Structure 1
Amino acid sequence: MIFKTIKIPHKFFLVVIIGFFVFQNNSVSASREPLMRVLISKGNNLRIRSDRSIPLTIKGQNFSNKKVKGLTLKKESNRTKIFFDKNKQKIYDLNNESKIIVKSTDERGIWVGQKRYSGIISVLILDSEILVINILGIEKYLSSVVGSEMPTKWPLEALKAQAIASRTYALKQKGNELYDIDSTQKNQVYNGLESRTFKTLRAVRTTRSLVLTYKNKLINALFHSSSGGMTENSQDVWNNEYPYLSSVKDFDTYNPKLRWQKKFSHQDLERFFPEIGGIKKIEIIDITNSGRVKNIKLIGNYGSNKISGVDFRKKLNLKSNFIRFKLIEDKKNLSDNDNSSFPIEKNLIVIGRGSGHGVGMSQWGANFMASKGIKAERILKHFYKGVRIEPFNKKFL
């Protein structure tokens, strides 16, 4: 046997060593990626199934690595029932406060209702309802959030700005007892694998771990669809004043749904405000610097009521509180009741601009800025004043 000595150049050896440590660091970084617990469903009736023939693995009360294609849970009175693969002949009872973990090796994900999800599905049985929580790494979570919150045809820089804002917002929510964040507009929209695309994956990958900070803490990275020309000061919507959430110019005039109207009949108004007998007059008490209604006085047939613009918006399910009003007499009602002793009934037309609370980043504004070649960093620093963009660190929490 002949042995040959192979000489390896020092530079090549150094490159190999550096590459090894970079790979190791990336692996460590990936393993330390924060996990998100996302509430994706709640109710009394639930169906979970595999996407293809690859079975699900179930762990929980009375089950240990059980392989099934699907499971159904139903809550009736104080009893929670579960059966597998549509086999209603064999039904199991689950105790309250019990938990079931559902896993799959299928890259196509797990169906929960009408949507597919990657990661782990955790089912919590509570006294009143069944909670379904998707547990997955924040970067995978974000690749869906970006596509759920923004049209993926928008410029990449707008999607990157959304990724950084959404990552910051999500991490700020961590620490709740049962789950970290809701999958609806209550927090930020998350539709699972249905909203993940090549473009959203790219937006998340190229901004990996980047967050928005102010004085070494994560900001409350609020965002909305469209402000109607000027974003709002946080203190004019809620009690809290954040220096980085101050009113700035928006660039959302190209939003096709910028202006809108909504009509309410006098019957609607009586249903919404029965304590004052509907609305026959509205007085705007004050408006914010951006033009939104801050407080109004409602005058009805039986009295009056003062209400904030934010609460008025919520009560009537309006797109925003950047609104003005028209009250018009109900001519049909007048012709039917031609008697001066009857109260004058009026219909309300609300004329509005924008969509959302108006605080923080305007998504339509970000879209316009990105279409003009402006980068994600500059977009974010326009809408969030005085912030820094840097890799996430636990000290920011």
Structure 2
Amino acid sequence: MILKFKNNYSKCCLISILFICVFHSESVFASKEPIIRVLISKNNNLRIRSDRSIPLTINGKFFSSKKIKGLTLKNEKNRKILYFDKNKQKKYDLKNNQQFKISSSDRRGIWVGQKRFSGKLNIFVLDSKILVVNVLGIEKYLNSVVGSEMPTKWPIEALKAQAIASRTYALNQKGNNLFDIDSTQKNQVYNGLESRTYKTIRAVKSTRSLVLTYKNKLINALFHSSSGGMTENSQDVWKNKYPYLSSVKDFDKNNPKFRWHKTISSNQLINLFPEIGGLNNIEILDITATGRVKNVNLIGAYGSYQMSGVALRKKLGLNSNFVRFRFFEEELNNNTPQKRGLIAFGQGSGHGVGMSQWGAKYLASRGQKAERILKHFYRGVQIKPFRKEYL
């Protein structure tokens, strides 16, 4: 269709209307971007400061839009205190359940300890600790998550797959009254602005709002470093069975730490299992279909008890529970009774459920797109723009 204009005034009016419509639609979309609250610190001794000359703004019980360069939170003689950079002599006592907010107009972010974060900060004073929660749009959050979870030099399609998986995982976290998600491996790693690069921004922007769904609900988009050759069924690691978290072939042998071993001395075993006098033997009672340790019987000098493979992995600090054990006689002095240490031989890293990051890297390096990678590791899923109905 060709539009004919009677005069320049009509043309200008139409252009103005089109501009307003486009601008309005973009503004509406931006305003609907989900906000995420990320727990970034539980440290009772912490410094928060601006990046350079632009001040921070603090609001709370004692402060109303006060401009500051920085502040220190500190545990001092059983008191939780706060003081500002300009006047360190004036100390404010922080009471239980007190909270305040810190914001900045500086695009370079806010320093919290040794890391920089965009968005705002909510500070909560609790009985035993001070919580710092970063509040920001989920897309800005993901710019840093992707670079925190995956090396940014990896292929862009692997980074895109990570962005979609991380977006889905984050939106599916119910959280609590104070925050939605943790910034550590407890949930997914978020190291702030220093982990954001051109490639992570590109990966997030090109997948904006895309999430993984199963029967029109967000999936539990679990991921891990390396499965050791086969990913695991969710019900073999935890109680919940998710059809889309089924065991599939992994392509992670390019991981330089695909195979590993760990040596644990007899003294360490005594400290780890004092109730049974150390560890003399490990009986593997059950293994999963892929070969991971499911349940064990731990035998020590004073008794024995059973433990899950997941719990044993955590107890011994192992990379995964795709592992086998061998005891060995320690070399000791002639006058010392013989003691036995333990060597754990394993493969893979992480719980083994969902997307393998090293597997994603391999598939991307062979030309696979993010959608194909995700649908390999998450069976029967769909990739769609996020809607609230998916929660």
Is the TM value for this pair above 0.5? yes
Give, in whole Å, the separation in 1 of the partners of 2:311 and 2:18.
Answer: 58
Deviation track 1:332-381 (CA, whole Å, cap 9, x = no partner) reads 16x333xxxx6x52110000101000000000000000000100001000
Deviation string 1:219-261 (CA, Å, 9 cap, x unpaired) is 1000000000000000010011110101000000100111111
Residue 152 of structure 1 pairs with residue 152 of structure 2:
yes
Name the structure 2 match of 1:267: 267
Number of aligned residue pairs: 387
Query: Residue in 2 aligned with 1:310?
Result: 310
Quote the residue 2:3 is aligned against.
none
Question: Which segment is superposed worse, 279-288 or 125-134?
Answer: 279-288
The answer to whether the Cα contact below 8 Å between 2:231 and 2:353 also exists between their aligned partners in 1 is yes
Match for residue 182 of structure 1? 182
Deviates more, 1:353-362 or 1:68-77: 68-77
Aligned equivalent of 2:50? 50
Which AA in structure 1 matches 2:352? G
For 1:348, give the aligned amino acid. L
Deviation at 1:87, TM superposition (A): 2.1
Determine whether 1:25 maps to 2:25. Answer: yes
Could you say which residue in structure 2 is the equivalent of 1:254?
254
Partner of 1:366: 360
Q: Deviations over 1:152-171 (max 9, x none)?
A: 00000000000000000000
Instruction: Give the distance between the partners of 1:156 and 1:8, measured in 2 at CA.
Output: 47
1:102 corresponds in structure 2 to 102
Instruction: Find the residue that maps to 2:172 and give its secondary structure.
Output: helix
User: Match for residue 376 of structure 1?
Assistant: 370
Residue identity matched to 2:28:
V
Structure 1 residues not aligned, in runs of 5+: none
What is the aligned partner in structure 1 of residue 343 from structure 2? 349
SS of residue in 2 equivalent to 1:63: coil
Cα contact 2:175–2:181 (8 A) shared by 1: no
Please say if residues 44 and 76 of structure 1, whose CA atoms lie closer than 8 Å, have aligned partners that are also in contact: no
TM-score by length of 2: 0.95
Partner of 1:81: 81
By how many angstroms is 1:8 displaced? Answer: 7.5
Q: How does 1:174-253 map to 2 (within 5 A)?
A: 174-253=174-253
Q: Which amino acid aligns with 1:336?
A: N
The alpha carbon displacement at 1:322 in A equals: 0.4
Secondary structure, aligned partner of 1:205:
helix
Establish whether residue 336 from structure 1 lines up as the match of residue 300 from structure 2.
Answer: no
* Structure 1 residue 7 displacement after superposition: 5.0
Q: Distance in 1 between matches of 2:259 and 2:150?
A: 19
2: CA distance between counterparts of 1:80 and 1:275? 37
CA RMSD of aligned residues (A): 1.9
Q: 1: distance between equivalents of 2:8 and 2:152?
A: 52
Deviations, residues 89-143 of structure 1 (Å, cap 9, x unaligned): 2112222211111111111111000000110011111121100000000000000
TM-score normalised by L of structure 1 = 0.93
The 3-state SS of whatever aligns with 2:83 is: strand
Whole-Å separation in 2 of the counterparts to 1:202 and 1:292: 37
Distance 2:276 2:282 in 1: 12
Instruction: Identify which range, 272-281 or 36-45, moves more after superposition.
Output: 272-281
CA contact (8 A) 2:231 2:352 kept: yes
Does structure 1 conserve the Cα–Cα contact (< 8 Å) formed by 2:172 and 2:218? Answer: yes
Deviations 1:48-80 (A, max 9, x none): 001101111111111111111100112346532
Retained in 2: the 8 A contact 1:72–1:86? no
